[in-house]
Amino acid sequence: MMPKIVRGGVFIALLFATVCLAAGAERPVFRVDVPYPTKDKPQSKLWFARGTWWAWLPVRGGSGVWRRTDQGWQRQAHLDEALKGLPGQADVWADEDTATAVLVALDRLAVAGLRWDRGSQRYEADTPPATFRTPPLEGKEGGIETATIARDGRGRWWVAYNFRRDMFVRHSMGSVTGEWSEPMKVNTSQAAADDICAIVALPGSVGVMWSDQAQDAVFFRGHDDRAAPGTWGTIETVEKGGKTADDHIHLAVSRDGRLYAATKNSLDSVGKPQQVLRVRDRRGKWTNYPYALRTAEWQPSRPIVLLGGNPEAIFLIHTLYRMDGAVPRVDVIAWQTSNLSRLDVTPAARILLDIGGRPNDVTGSKRHLPPGQVWIVLASDQAGNVYEMRLH
């Protein structure tokens, strides 16, 4: 269940550690010229490398990269020309020396890479990006809503995305910005128009999770790294029935290879859990943990899941939409956490960011939260303001 909301920065004694929660800054750390730049639901726009945090966000006419410094977040303007004209909405896979993003527009995707230059001590654009166009949109088709990227154990890149109520994957045929395969559909029956998918790298495989509101189900399908690229496993039913599906998915993988999926259901009823943490063990067994009750005042939405710490801990972060008709409407960002060895999704939701406005779309990193470093997430609002929240 989700007890009452607790406001402000607090110290919380957990079984695994004592985590200091700094109250979210009320002022934005920077601003861009598009609304809600930290969206979309399954995407990760932050990464940690070279001793600091980075963000890849949309701007009008392209996208931009920011670096967190002692003097504040600084835009890496030398990359602007290389990113100009590309779709802006990014999902980022990064290691110490490279950052690779799938960039999303309604009618096309691009995969662009950055590489660390030791001489200049900054990222430089890699070779020209790979671009995929969809068939022409017809009538009221919405096109691509979102896409995500992962790299399998053999170094092959994968992107997954929705289009025309189906879920597709593509894989690289060489370098990330080189030749790519034609799209392959991973679902067998069409989902609802607003359903989405997300891809994740697991030990020895990759997998795609998608929502299917037409069948009232959540599905998963894996690909073994050793198999031919077009050979995918059977479709796993994560959960079916009871209004379990909605188009909110975010994925993380623990050190022992378990998959954690923060999702939203469609119950939309006061007193009922609004979100579900779905856990897949190494044998492919799924367990579903409903959490985050909807109340007359608050509606939980857009959850993400992050992992980090030693012992390993889980962080569940989401937006709380104000539902009691208050004017002006004030939404907040909330969080809860648990030791993975004793998973508990019932603690009170605690306010992480309250700006007196409407922050939304929390984004974090695909990789584990870095040891010995500040742990942060970002959110944004309709004016393009970007806010930083510290978890540690």
E-strand stretches of 281-324? 286-293, 298-308, 313-322
The CA angle 106-131-247, to the nearest 5 degrees, is 35
- Distances in Å between the Cα of 77 and the Cα atoms of 85, 125, 128, 385 are 15, 12, 18, 18
Q: Give which of 100, 308, 277, 284 is closest to 207, Cα–Cα.
A: 284
Number of H helices, E strands in the chain: 1, 31
What residue has token string 């671009």? 131
Q: At 99, list the tokens.
A: 């950052």
The answer to whether the CB of 73 falls within 8 A of the CB of 58 is: no
Quick one: pLDDT at residue 26?
A: 65
What pLDDT, on a 0 to 100 scale, did the predictor assign at position 348? Answer: 79
As a whole number of angstroms, the distance between CA 202 and CA 211 comes to 19
pLDDT at res. 138: 78
The residue with tokens 């406005």 is 357
What pLDDT, on a 0 to 100 scale, did the predictor assign at position 141? 75
Strand ordering across the sheet containing 72-75: 46-49, 52-59, 62-69, 72-75
Residue 278 CA neighbour count, 13 Å, CB half: 29
C-alpha 315 chain-centroid distance: 13
The residue type at 53: W
**Paired tokens of 191:** 């989902």
Specify the long-range contacts of residues 389-392, CB closer than 8 Å, at least 24 apart: 389/22, 389/24, 389/25, 389/333, 389/352, 389/353, 389/362, 390/21, 390/22, 390/24, 391/19, 391/21, 391/306, 391/315, 391/335, 391/352, 392/19, 392/20
DSSP 8-state secondary structure symbol assigned to residue 143? -
Confidence at residue 1, expressed as pLDDT on a 0 to 100 scale = 33
- At 83, which helix (H) or strand (E)? helix 80-83
What per-residue confidence (pLDDT) applies to 8? 37
- Give bridge partners of residue 131 from the DSSP assignment: 110
Q: How many CB atoms lie within 10 A of CB 273?
A: 20
pLDDT, position 344? 97
Q: Which long-range contacts (CB under 8 A, 24 or more apart) does 183-188 make?
A: 183/132, 184/230, 184/232, 186/160, 186/210, 186/221, 186/232, 186/235, 187/212, 187/219, 187/221, 187/235, 188/235
* Residue pointed to by tokens 């959850």: 303
Cα 103 to Cα 82, 201, 230, 281, distances in angstroms: 13, 19, 23, 30
Q: What is the mean pLDDT of each run of 10 residues along the chain (392 residues)?
A: 36 28 64 97 98 98 97 98 96 96 96 96 93 84 93 96 96 84 96 97 98 98 97 98 98 98 97 97 97 96 97 98 93 97 92 96 97 97 98 84
